[in-house]
A and B are shown apart, each in its own frame.
Chain A
Amino acid sequence: MNVIELRELRFRWPGQARAVLAIPQLTLQAGEHVFLRGPSGSGKTTLLNLLAGILKPQQGELHLLGQPAHRLRAAARDRLRADHMGVIFQQFNLLPYLSLLDNVLLPCHFSARRRQQAGNVQASARHLLAHLQLEPALLQRSVTELSVGQQQRVAVARALIGRPELVIADEPTSALDADSRDRFLELLFHEADAQHSTILFVSHDARIARHFPRVLELNEVNQA
């Protein structure tokens, strides 16, 4: 099944003369790890906002897990995101006032489906954190005391809990050094594979491309 399917999609920010995105066709299949590279300002974050259902395309079709997101209302798109997607930001992924574990469990509070799929949510979160090499001693710490690399791995655990079909990551490694970046990708892939989650990873950094079986250039995909 296609996790993402775009057809003749166009998006223009309100008040701007030209479209940022005009994508004739783009398809991601279940379990794929896709790297989408594009220079700064090329519309990567905009595309992720469309895929996450926060923005709505002005033209074209956007199918997410077989559902026509371009026809869904905002609340339904929010539901789709809560139930089927994990999101990882460049940085500042965590709510400083929640414990590490509560941060990971956040999606389970907004989605009954993810809560169900996680089974015992606490155990599931601890399991993920352990696999992401976050030792149990860290659980007691305030998330603001974690290193950036540790924070990003907590964000992976949050994105993956409840086995969402799609993980979208917006330059999650740009604040990491080369070593921790490679380790981050390795752990992300391993855990995503373990639960058959598709990964769409965007960045301007071409050096990351070699880790991915499929690499796309936004400027080639996008005809705007």
Chain B
Amino acid sequence: MILLKLTWYSLWNRRASLLLTVLSIAISVALLLGVEYIRKEARHSFMNTLSGTDLVVGARSGPIQLLLYSVFRIGNATNNISWDSYQHFARHRLVDWTVPLSLGDSHRGYRVLGTNNDYFRHYRHGDRQALALAAGKEFTGIYDAVLGAEVARKLGYQVGDAIVVAHGAGATSFTEHGNKPFTVAGILKPTGTPVDRTVHVPLEGIEAIHVDWKAGAPVPGFEVSAERAARMDLQPVAITAFLVGLKTRSAAFRLQREINDYPREALLATVPGIALAELWRAIGQFEVILRIITVFVLIAGLLGMLTTLLSTLNERRREMAILRAVGAHPRQVFLLFVLEALILAVLGTLLGAVLVMLGVQLAQPWVAAEYGLHLRSWLPQAGDGLLLLLVAGLAVIFSIIPGMIAYRRSLQDGLTVRI
């Protein structure tokens, strides 16, 4: 007890120089906790890129590839699926709703997605959050476009602007559907998902801009005006993929098997959560490296503390002689250093936790406005208690060095006050 009091007063007496030590421990702990937090948030937001959808269905390929092009809008589908197959499953008795997705075109590097207004009704991200419009409205005509937040922000579009869709997915596509421009009808709020980087148009719009095309190129001398095209039958022959919501979630695996075994077309149905987890495992290797780096930062912070402890050894020689004189055992002198390191480490860890908490609190509104990501507040968890133990343990191990030096010196010096 007296040792704790002595340590505390002694530390307080040297607070100015020790503040830096505590701060350096705090920063390394904050870094460790912050990285852990970002890792969890990244995973959380990644796993919830698509929520509320029970199955994603496309032409037969791999589940990850299907997820990449249908949800992340990366790469291309190898095959389309027929409208008939889509209709078959859209009317299936287990199915509550479906959202068709038709990909293939782009606008200045952003993917154009053909769909219908059900998309805005059923697409969910994060904790089951629906899409919301920041401005304008959903599709009302076939040449309406609804822009993702990033598309509108980066390209400076507002409701009412005209945009021209290019054929293919390249950023510099030369073949444009110039004769049938779309009008920006609405702009979505940011979601922090690939939706932000998508131009949404009605399926009929996709059909309309392709009526005078064949095999990926305009048919020479055969041009259909936008008005005429709108009056034609624009039911698509094929789509790229579709999202399925079930009446009861437990039916997912049953319907999945049925789709995968569909005799008339080679289809693939995947449960998005499972495919997302698989994809995360593939790209999540960076986590390990981040962790290793932060552990080294922590060790560097504690080495700073060791340096401070060692540098105070000489000026504290007199202190040790006094304590020995009033009856302290060298073991107690040793303990003083361990206690000191322990207090510094605990203070540093607590301060580090406060830094992370404040940091997240400050970042929350900004990240929400800028990226549409709803960061969860940082709260200490059981795993963080383990971190506290790790820091304290390392601090104690490091303090053994100055503690032993002080121990040996106080044995030698005894009552001889050396300065």
Contacts and interface: CB of A to CB of B under 8 A. Distances in A.
Task: Please say whether chains A and B are actual partners in one complex.
Answer: yes
Closest 4 CB pairs of A and B: A82-B327, A97-B13, A54-B414, A110-B327
Contacts of A93: 322
Interface in B1-32: 1-2, 6, 9-10, 12-13
Interface of A: 45, 48-49, 52, 54-55, 74-75, 78-79, 81-83, 87, 89-98, 102, 106-107, 109-111, 158, 170
Contacts of B327: 78-79, 81-83, 107, 110-111
B314 to A, nearest CB: 14
Contacts of A89: 321-322, 325, 415, 417
B313 to A, nearest CB: 16
Interface string B325-355: 1111110000000000000000000000000
B328 A98 contact: no
**Mostly helix, strand, loop or mixed at chain B's interface?**
helix
A94 B322 contact: yes
B419 interface: yes
Contacts, number: 72
B328 to A, nearest CB: 6
Which bracket fits the contact residues of B?
20 to 34
Interface in B268-326: 318-319, 321-326
Contacts of A52: 325, 414-415
B416 interface: yes
B5 to A, nearest CB: 8
Contacts of A75: 329
B329 to A, nearest CB: 5
Given A78-B328, A83-B327, 6 more contacts: A54-B411, A92-B322, A92-B417, A92-B419, A95-B9, A170-B415
Nearest to A13: B412
12 contacts: A48-B415, A49-B414, A54-B415, A78-B328, A82-B328, A87-B325, A89-B415, A94-B322, A96-B13, A106-B322, A106-B323, A158-B326
Contacts of B321: 89
Contact of A110 (B2, B13, B318, B411): B2
B113 to A, nearest CB: 69
Contacts of A78: 327-329
A110 B326 contact: yes
Contacts of B322: 89, 92-95, 106
A109 B419 CA distance: 26
Contact of B415 (A49, A91, A92, A158): A49
Given A92-B419, A170-B415, A54 B324 contact: yes
Nearest to A144: B13
B373 to A, nearest CB: 49
Contacts of B416: 45, 49
A102 B6 CA distance: 10
Contacts of A102: 9
Interface in B102-147: none
B326 A106 contact: yes
Given A96-B13, A97-B10, A109-B2, A90 B328 contact: no
A18 B330 CA distance: 27
Contacts of A81: 325, 327
Nearest to A110: B327
Contacts of B2: 109-110
A95 B6 CA distance: 9
Interface string B195-224: 000000000000000000000000000000
A1 B230 CA distance: 121
B57 to A, nearest CB: 73
A79 B332 CA distance: 13
Q: In this complex, which of A54, A79, A81, A109 has the most chain B Cβ atoms within 10 angstroms of its Cβ?
A: A54
Given A95-B319, A96-B13, A74 B414 contact: no
Nearest to A51: B415
A55 B414 CA distance: 8
A213 B6 CA distance: 39
B333 to A, nearest CB: 11
A95 B338 CA distance: 19
A116 B187 CA distance: 82
Given A95-B319, A97-B13, A82 B417 contact: no
Contacts of A96: 13
A184 to B, nearest CB: 18
Contacts of A94: 322
Nearest to B329: A78
Most chain B CB inside 10 Å of its own CB: which residue of A52, A96, A97, A98: A97
Most buried by A among B12, B324, B327: B327
Contacts of A98: 6, 9
A25 to B, nearest CB: 23
Nearest to B414: A54
A97 B18 CA distance: 15
Interface hub of B9, B13, B322 (most chain A Cβ within 10 A) = B322
Contacts of A74: 329-330
